[in-house]
Copies of this chain bind each other. A is one copy, B any other.
Amino acid sequence: MNDHEMPEPVITADPPGVIIETVTPQIDCGRHPVKRVVGDTFDVSAIVYKEGHDTLAARLLVRAPDSSQWTQHRMSYDVNFDRCETSFVLDRIGRWSYTVEAWPDYFATWRSELRKKLAAGLDVSSELLEGALLLRDASVRAAEADRLKLDVVADLLADESIYPAQRASVALDGELERAMSRSEPAAIVRYHRALSVYVDRERARFGAWYEMFPRSQGAAPGEHGTFKTAELQLPRLAALGFDVVYLPPIHPIGSTHRKGPNNRLAAKPGDPGSPWAIGSEHGGHTAVEPRLGTLRDFEHFVETARGLGLEVALDYALQCSPDHPWVAEHPEWFHIRPDGSIKYAENPPKKYEDIYPLNYWSENRQALWQASKEVFDFWIERGVRIFRVDNPHTKPFAFWEWIITALQDEHPDVIFLSEAFTRPARMKALAKLGFTQSYTYFTWRNTVLELRGYMIELTQTEAAEYFRPNLFTNTPDILNEFLQTGGRPAFRIRLLLAATLSPSYGIYSGFELCENVPREPGSEEYLDSEKYEIKNRDWDAPDNINADIRSINRIRRENRALQSLTNLSFHYSENDQILFYRKSAPGNELLIVVNMDPHQQQESTIHVPIAELGIGSDQTYEVEDLLTGERYTWRGSPNYVRLSPVERVGHILRLVELETGDRE
């Protein structure tokens, strides 16, 4: 076994001996980019030091996407912590690079010592000669406009016929200092690597999603919906305030081993099958199911959505029905059994005979990986820029890094949502390797303690640098027990939480109607799941929560504090059935209070973080409930709230501008 290579040296035995460490932000030693959205101010800091007492200086180098130029930003330097920092605005999308350079500012050191010696009345003749040497050295690298000045002053400093005090006053001149700081330092140290930040468009961070099966949107009950009939739902979704309409797979569905209602093994004629059993004689991942219409119809659907301010997200599910064209064309892309047959999916003892998993490590994987990329290319060409990726943790991590990087290099505006409900390390790995957003454990976090701990992990730890949660309240696979048993208040509570704890959230059709019947007790599957049959719904059925959705989505758009992830903090509520948190943006302070109990009224004294809000302990202030328009006058930190599941499950309280000064 050979030894490993040693790391790049961060210090060398050559001058100037400056060390640059801990450039922040940085993920896994710079292995992965951090994430931001366009318009963000990006803060970078570093620890910079050197032996001895020299004054140090540092600058940030930044390379914008598709640029070969590095631009420089001078960093400020806090000597007590050996820490330098600066910030700049990320003004376009794509992959940016940054690194830090530092050097000793010998002229600044010299000026500082000269001042001290002058103040102590010491002889500075030798120092003035040293200063002349520094100026002559800088002059060599200075721009022409400065060169003459530096040479003239150098001669003057070295001119022993002039009184030292006179020469010193020239040396301490501000214009000279500026000329010196313009000249490039003689020796610079660069941080041992360039780091990167991936900048997305705003929708990567902020958006309200709606999952809809187009086939359920038929013109009449029982009829198979089409893109044309589904289009009729778009105005409704736009009016509810959604930003993204996500469609489960729209591709031809296989007939071999097709599943019947409630996942029954045998489908009856006319059963539509699961959209995730992709591929039939009508085509595979680049075709549309004929019963939904044509590719043209789909494109029209996308355009209509765009006209309403809605963006369409497609499902990207890398698996095939036995009838998928790839099965005949490329059997070597699948797992082959010893008898030569292709393996269906299974989770022993369960079998999924309607689905063949692809083998991303097969000998011929290069062609399969390329074909998988071409599926993305196909839909990107047809105007799709958001993909919800099904079960990415069952395909190689290397595959995702390769494909996302390649796609974003060509189309930096593409958004990838990872649907990996797996162990934390793997969910985080997918985010580090490129996924723009991720599903989360949100549906299974239903108490104050669970939710607070989880949201702190997602928003206040290093994970927030790369993992963007998209809090879905439900999915076709997940009808959580809290929703099954909590009735309509449970739906209102979970909507309020999802939409205010994270800038990205989503609901799946039927949530607005409080659908909550499981296939059987203890199951998180829906009874008569839409995955296997067409579901007709009356969108205005009694007890719908459309009004909540409209109102919350409007509030999200109107309040910047709800459009960021990391601006969340939790505060003390004396009743642990009531969750109290703050979302904070410049000029937009929200205090959110949610009754986590769908069954009973709860009251609490909550402790408003008045110090952080700049409110005195005896000061009164006004808060406005954005859900109802009601205003309350509060005083100091402890204030009383009462929330009933019937009337209101929570407050979104905006701090009304504090009055300053006296009125006469």
A30 touches B7 (CB 8 A): yes
Interface flag for A478 (CB, 8 Å): no
Instruction: Determine if A52 and B394 form an interchain contact, defined as CB atoms under 8 angstroms apart.
Output: yes
Digitize A427-444: 1 where CB-to-B-CB distance is under 8 Å, 0 elsewhere.
Answer: 001000100000000000
**Which residues on B sit within 8 Å (CB–CB) of A31?**
7, 10
Given A29-B29, A337-B126: A349 touches B116 (CB 8 Å cut-off): yes
A159 within 8 A of B: no
With A3-B194, A11-B398 already in contact, the answer to whether A130 and B337 are too (CB < 8 A) is yes
A339 contacts B by Cβ under 8 Å: yes
Complex interface bits, A337-371 against B, C-beta within 8 A gives 1, otherwise 0:
11100000001110000000000110001000100
Q: Which chain B positions have C-beta within 8 A of A10?
A: 31
Asked if A397 and B17 sit within 8 Å, CB to CB, the answer is yes
Report the minimal beta-carbon distance from A186 to chain B, rounded to whole angstroms: 12
Inter-chain contacts of A40 with B (CB < 8 A): none
Contact indicator per residue, chain A 101-132, by CB within 8 Å of chain B (1) or not (0): 00000000000010011011010001001101
Contact call B17/A398, Cβ cutoff below 8 A? yes
A426:B130 contact, CB within 8 angstroms: no
B residues in contact with A433, CB < 8 Å: 11
Whether A348 pairs with B117 at a CB distance below 8 angstroms is yes
A425 in contact (CB, < 8 A): yes
Decide: B396 and A82 in contact? CB cutoff 8 A. Answer: no
The answer to whether B361 and A15 have CB atoms under 8 Å apart is yes
A82 touches which of B4, B122, B425 (Cβ 8 Å): B425
Contact of A349 among B5, B50, B119, B192 (CB under 8 A): B119
What is the total number of copies of this protein in its complex? Answer: 2
Q: How far is the CB of A60 from chain B (nearest CB, A)?
A: 14
Q: Chain A 310-349, CB within 8 Å of chain B: the 1/0 string? A: 0000000000000000000000000001110000000111
Partner of A1, one of B51, B70, B83, B398: B70
Q: Does A19 contact B (CB under 8 A)?
A: yes
User: A1-45: which residues lie under 8 A (CB-CB) from chain B?
Assistant: 1, 3-5, 7, 10-17, 19, 21-22, 28-31
User: What are 21 inter-chain pairs, A to B, with CB distance below 8 A?
Assistant: A4-B97, A4-B192, A7-B31, A13-B398, A13-B402, A15-B361, A17-B397, A17-B398, A21-B28, A47-B425, A49-B423, A51-B360, A51-B396, A52-B394, A81-B424, A82-B426, A113-B348, A120-B348, A122-B349, A129-B338, A130-B338
The chain A residues found within 8 Å of chain B, CB to CB, are 1, 3-5, 7, 10-17, 19, 21-22, 28-31, 47, 49-53, 61, 70, 79-83, 97, 99, 113, 116-117, 119-120, 122, 126, 129-130, 132-133, 192-194, 337-339, 347-349, 360-361, 365, 369, 393-399, 401-402, 423-426, 429, 433
